[in-house]
Amino acid sequence: MPDTVDPALVPELLVEDLDRSLDFWCGACGFTVAYDRPDERFAYLVLGSAHVMLEQVGVSRNWVTGALDRPLGRGINLQVTVPDSAALAARLDAAGVRLFMQPETKWYDLGTEEAGVQQFLVQDPDGYLLRFQSSVGRRPVLPHT
């Protein structure tokens, strides 16, 4: 694993086909495999400071609390900060990957200032929603008149 601080939260996503997921996460989105356990169909992926674990359903022990209906991960989107989300969106588009939401610039209220991001959304092969974003800076919130 890279010499970085271990994150306090790392999602572990159950997937139907680990090879297909690795093609998407690593091949299309730029993650790398930090380590894997091929006999368990498990891989630990890293992109910058973003970490995620993928595990194929039905191979090792899976902690499943209910039916795994598609799309998996309904109700959650995983934000991944990248240096240039527009370049990644263009690369995915060129590879024929359909975006769930086209790139946009959005300003989020933080109280006394706003944080700007350029972002887009894409679903992985199992339906997990990924929101790739890049910072476009911060600006003060103007008082309401």
How confident is residue 15, by pLDDT bands cut at 50, 70 and 90? very high
pLDDT at residue 2 greater than cutoff 60: no
Mean pLDDT of 124-135: 97
Q: Does pTM surpass 0.85?
A: yes
Which runs of E-coded beta strand occur in 7-128? 12-15, 32-37, 42-47, 50-56, 77-81, 99-109, 113-123
pLDDT tens figures, 72-98 = 888 899 999 999 999 999 999 999 999
Q: What local confidence, expressed as pLDDT, does residue 4 receive?
A: 59
Asked if 130 and 11 count as a contact pair (C-beta separation under 8 A), the reply is no
Structural domains for the chain: 12-61+71-140 (3.10.180.10)
pLDDT tens figures, 45-75 = 999 999 999 999 988 777 777 788 888 888 8
As beta bridge partners, residue 134 has 118
Element containing residue 92 per DSSP (H, E): helix 85-94
Least confident of 5-14, 23-32, 75-84, 91-100: 5-14
Q: What local confidence, expressed as pLDDT, does residue 94 receive?
A: 93
Q: What local confidence, expressed as pLDDT, does residue 6 receive?
A: 83
